[in-house]
């Protein structure tokens, strides 16, 4: 029996670096949001082994794939002796700051618990997910969430709604390690970790219709835009096309823009897509809708 599930993307309304942690990671405060573009994962039970199938040239099909690692981690943790073939149909650009691989891993955990007839406590699920990446736990929740710590400590918030978003990716690959390594000293000072973030003010005061200009913030833009000037040019093009606010998502290189109407967004999409860039009109995906999609799909599988 095959099981097909969507694996949605995310954007970051805000991303603040509060300092360098003793463990070598950076302390983050970020507001995460699921959006409506998605990969599709198809799960087919096997007697044994883990197989990954994907025709995207940038997606590995070996033990380094996050889907493979999620399946292996779940099998080892539960002691289950079953196999799985996962076919990944990519619609989200890779290495794009949209959480495509992390979402794939999270969906794999959800699907295999059902197909393998194992059950993890929420605590165990979140701990296993965090071992694979800071964004993975967020995709167990969806909607609008505050992420703290490395970004893997997730707290659900009231959903922010935006119906006319445009994602733009010019195909620039931005190495995450390089981005964090190029942060200015004031963002990596260990003594600054406990400073109060501005995430709530920025997001909840700014993401309101009365604002003429939405105040979005991503500290990772500092090193990325300094090195990849094209991303700054994309932001300016989107603003000239009428966007209320634009921001790089995550560590890049996707830029998202917020528009007032479908007409304004479509005009921007036509203009920017002429450059050969990937452009996707999306909307925010609230938590209730996000979780209902998986609940309904998994309920069809007979235990």
- The catalytic site residues sit at 10, 135
- Report d(CA 194, CA 111) in Å as an integer: 38
1, exposed or middle or buried, with CB in 10 Å at 0-12, 13-18, 19+?
exposed
- Find how far residue 265's CA is from the centre of its chain: 22
Q: Residues 74, 136: contact at Cβ < 8 Å?
A: no
CB–CB of 275/241 below 8 Å? no
> What number of H helices and E strands is found in the chain?
10, 11
Q: How far is CA 208 from CA 97, 99, 204, 260, 289, in A?
A: 24, 25, 7, 11, 22
């Amino acid at each position: 029996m095959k099981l097909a599930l969507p694996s949605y993307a995310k954007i970051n309304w805000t991303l603040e670096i509060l300092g360098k942690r003793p463990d070598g990671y950076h302390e983050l405060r970020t507001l995460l949001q699921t959006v409506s573009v998605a990969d599709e994962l198809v799960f087919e039970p096997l007697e044994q082994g883990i197989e990954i199938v994907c025709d995207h040239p940038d997606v590995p099909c070996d033990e380094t794939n996050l889907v493979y690692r999620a399946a292996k981690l779940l099998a080892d943790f539960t002691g289950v002796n079953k196999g799985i073939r996962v076919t990944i149909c990519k619609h989200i650009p890779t290495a794009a700051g949209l959480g495509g691989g992390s979402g794939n891993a999270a969906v794999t955990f959800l699907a295999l618990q059902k197909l393998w007839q194992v059950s993890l406590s929420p605590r165990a699920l979140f701990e296993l997910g965090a071992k694979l990446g800071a964004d993975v736990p967020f995709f167990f929740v969806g909607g609008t969430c505050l992420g703290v710590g490395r970004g893997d400590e997730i707290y659900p918030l009231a959903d922010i709604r935006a119906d006319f978003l445009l994602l733009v990716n010019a195909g620039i690959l931005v190495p995450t390690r390089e981005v964090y390594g190029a942060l200015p000293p004031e963002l990596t000072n260990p003594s600054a970790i406990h400073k109060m973030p501005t995430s709530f003010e920025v997001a909840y005061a700014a993401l309101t219709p009365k604002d003429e200009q939405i105040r979005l913030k991503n500290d990772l833009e500092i090193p990325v835009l300094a090195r990849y000037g094209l991303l700054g040019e994309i932001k300016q093009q989107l603003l000239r096309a009428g966007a209320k606010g634009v921001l790089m998502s995550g560590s890049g290189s996707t830029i998202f823009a917020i528009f007032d109407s479908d007409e304004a967004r479509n005009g921007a999409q036509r203009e920017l897509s002429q450059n050969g860039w990937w452009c996707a009109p999306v909307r925010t995906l609230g938590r209730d809708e996000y979780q209902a999609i998986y609940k309904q799909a998994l309920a069809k599988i007979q235990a």
